[in-house]
A and B are shown apart, each in its own frame.
Chain A
Amino acid sequence: MRRETLLNAALMLLLLAVPLWAHVTDEPFTITLATRAVIFAIAGVGLNVALGLGGLVSLGHALFFGVGGYAMGILAFHAQTYAPLIDWPVTIDGTKSMPIIWLVAIVTSAIAALGIGALSLRTTGVYFIMITLAFAQMFYFFTISWPAYGGEDGLSIYVRNGFPGLNTMDPIQFFALCYGLLLLVLFIVWRIARSPFGLMLGAARQSQARAQALGQVPYRLYLTAFVVSGAITGLAGALFADLNRFVSPTMFSWQTSGEIMVFVILGGVGRVFGPVAGAALFIVLEHSLGGLSEFWHIYLGAILLGVVLFARGGLYGLLAGRERAHD
């Protein structure tokens, strides 16, 4: 078997084994940490579609993470207060059903990505980074000043939303749900990366002139990637909100955007499973170094610097070598 396949399998097994072990030894906090890693991994896999496959350096993916989070927050808030979301022309009630919340999170963040991408992708390079950052900051300050849904204090949801046939309040069952979604998202992105669209998107990343000479408009390819990317990160946001049973404007903050990008860079830009490794490493560091010092981000910074300077391919580049070009 190829080294990368082995690494993928080992990574996914480890990510499954740790919470199972914690379940057996009755350590729910470890399960929560693993669930956090899985949700961050989904967010990173989403960003990787734009950043890795499309070469679009978005520093605004917190926006989609936050939109997903607030999709959950707002729907669940209306359900728990029994106040309909909309009264007119038809009554739409809130919901505590995860599948519906996920769908709403995916659709709203995809729509947000379509609008923001359509504007942002007219710029390139540092301007693109800045404009995506600016959009996320706009949402951040908007939610802070929006009293209907908690403003700066955020929204607390008292009971985790439900999924048919599962007890989502049981940590291991909620973990299993998130893990299943991660597998699904990985499968989708893996297929996209190898699809006609993925091949052409990669070509546009490497040479816009090439894509044009082949009759393609790079803008359309980028925008499609950006929408897929935003939708996946939005799903992660809804899960993250459900994990904490809390949403706040912090989800929109530029630190969140930075962290999602750190998952991708630590793991390996453009590698399908890279963000999973990156997010897992991030959680391990956050937990172990966070115990040493409140300022653990200093160490994270040093490690990130090391990766950028000496291991461009991230963990995957280090452990699995260069990506196989095609099979």
Chain B
Amino acid sequence: MTDLVLDIRGVCKSFGALQASQDIDLTVNRGEIHALIGPNGAGKSTLIQQIAGGLRPDAGRIIFDGRDVTGLSTAARARLGMGRTFQISSLAMEYTVLQNAVLGALGARGDVFRFFRPVMRDADLLATARAALTTVGLDGFEALRTSELSHGQRRQLEVAVALTLSPRVFLMDEPMAGLGAEGSRRLMELLNGLRAQAPILLIEHDMDAVFALADRISVLVYGQIIATGTVDEIRANRDVRTAYLGEEEDA
């Protein structure tokens, strides 16, 4: 077994004249948090969709655990162990917090086509779901409907559902967006511990969080990765400073 979990090779994707991904190479190794940063519209979400299966790349390959998954559907990739959190929450809003977590545990176990046993009485699923909710700090909100949660709590629930999947890699699309200072700190602690379980590909706008958490950072600008390296390397990189960090300082 190698340390390489996710290997993205030469991925290209364009929408008409817009090149959202230009020959992108990216790897995620066991035990690391690899952060993907870049200004708005750089193509971060397009890339994560191609990795998760929502979009098919025009060229290039996605290798996951040594297996070419480029042709597989989102569902098939999820079953292989890609645990995704969404930028725009896509939880089942009518369900309770607990039901959403149970849903994750059920998806991970895979025996969905059962029609007679009450799912909310399944002790194994409930235990997995409750453990994940406790980990993200939502244990007091089990019975609340997801639509009644605050924005930040929905983020936490997204992460909890991903946890119940016990995936082989986490794909997290801006999990901290809209979280308060306290919420961000909590989630950072959580992600920090999570990398031992499975590596994380983290798209995040919060630079403090990225620099505090990431083992490696890739910078995406106009569909191209202009640099990949450790936190210090990225901080020192002149291209990155002008293309990205510089803009932030000016703003």
Nearest CB of chain B from residue A204's CB, rounded to whole Å: 9
Is A216 among interface residues, defined by CB-CB distance under 8 A?
Answer: yes
Contact status of A216 and B92, CB under 8 A, knowing A196-B112, A326-B98, A326-B120:
no
- Which residues of B have CB within 8 Å of A191? 115-116, 118
Q: Which residues of A contact B86 (CB under 8 A)?
A: 209, 213
Q: B114: which of A197, A215, A216, A327 is its contact (CB, 8 Å)?
A: A197
Once bound together, how far apart are the Cα atoms of A192 and B114, in whole Å?
8
CA distance A197 to B110 in the complex (A): 11
**Residue in A207, A217, A221, A325 whose CB lies within 8 Å of B145:** A325
A200 CA / B112 CA spacing, docked (Å): 7
Identify B92's interface contact among A197, A210, A327, CB under 8 A: A210
Give complex CA distance A200, B95 in Å.
11
A-B contact count, CB below 8 Å?
Answer: 110
Evaluate whether A197 and B90 lie within 8 angstroms (CB atoms) in the complex, with A212-B78, A215-B79, A326-B96 already known.
no
Count how many chain B residues have C-beta atoms less than 8 Å from C-beta atoms of the other chain. 43
For residue A195, CB closer than 8 A to chain B, the reply is yes
- Determine if B99 and A206 form an interchain contact, defined as CB atoms under 8 angstroms apart: no
Q: Which B residues are in CB contact (< 8 Å) with A192? A: 115-116
CB-defined contacts of B114 to chain A, threshold 8 Å: 195-197
Answer yes or no: A287 CB below 8 A from chain B CBs.
no
Task: Name the CB-closest residue of A to B143.
Answer: A325
Query: Using a Cβ–Cβ cut-off of 8 Å, how many residues does chain A contribute to the interface with B?
Result: 27
Binds A, one of B19-27, B58-66, B100-108, B180-188: B100-108
* 0/1 string, B55-76, CB within 8 A of A gives 1: 0000000000000000001111
Q: Flag if B95 contacts A202 (CB, 8 Å).
A: yes
Kindly state the separation between the CA atoms of A210 and B78 in the bound complex, as whole angstroms: 11
A275-293 contacts to B (CB < 8 Å):
none
* Contact B92–A195 (Cβ < 8 Å): no
Which residues of chain B have C-beta atoms less than 8 A from A213's C-beta? 52, 74, 78, 83-84, 86, 90, 107
CB–CB A210/B115 < 8 A: no
- Give the Cβ gap from B133 to chain A, nearest Cβ, in Å: 14
Bound: A326/B146 CA distance, A: 13
Does B3 sit at the interface, judged by CB under 8 A? no
Given contacts A224-B113, A325-B145, contact A200 B106 (CB under 8 A): yes
Contact A214 B95 (CB under 8 A): no
Asked if B112 and A197 make an inter-chain contact with CB atoms under 8 angstroms apart, the answer reads yes
CB neighbours of B104 from chain A (8 A): 214
Contacts of B95 in A (CB 8 A): 199, 202-203, 206, 325
Instruction: Determine the chain B residues whose CB is within 8 A of the CB of A214 once the complex forms.
Output: 78, 103-104, 106-108, 161, 165
Contact A206 B92, CB 8 Å, known A200-B112, A213-B84 = yes
Q: Is A3 an interface residue (CB 8 A)?
A: no
Q: Which residues of A contact B96 (CB under 8 A)?
A: 325-326
Most chain-A CB neighbours within 10 Å: which of B98, B118, B165?
B118
When distances are taken between beta carbons in the complex, the residues of chain B under 8 Å from A215 are 75-76, 78-79, 107-108, 110, 165
Known contacts A325-B96, A326-B98, A199 near B103 by CB under 8 Å = yes
Interface positions of B (Cβ within 8 A of A): 52-54, 73-76, 78-79, 83-84, 86, 90-96, 98-99, 102-104, 106-108, 110-120, 122, 143, 145, 161, 165
**Chain A contacts to B: CB under 8 angstroms:** 191-192, 194-200, 202-203, 206-207, 209-217, 221, 224, 325-327
Nearest 6 A/B pairs, CB to CB:
A214-B107, A215-B79, A215-B78, A212-B74, A206-B92, A325-B96
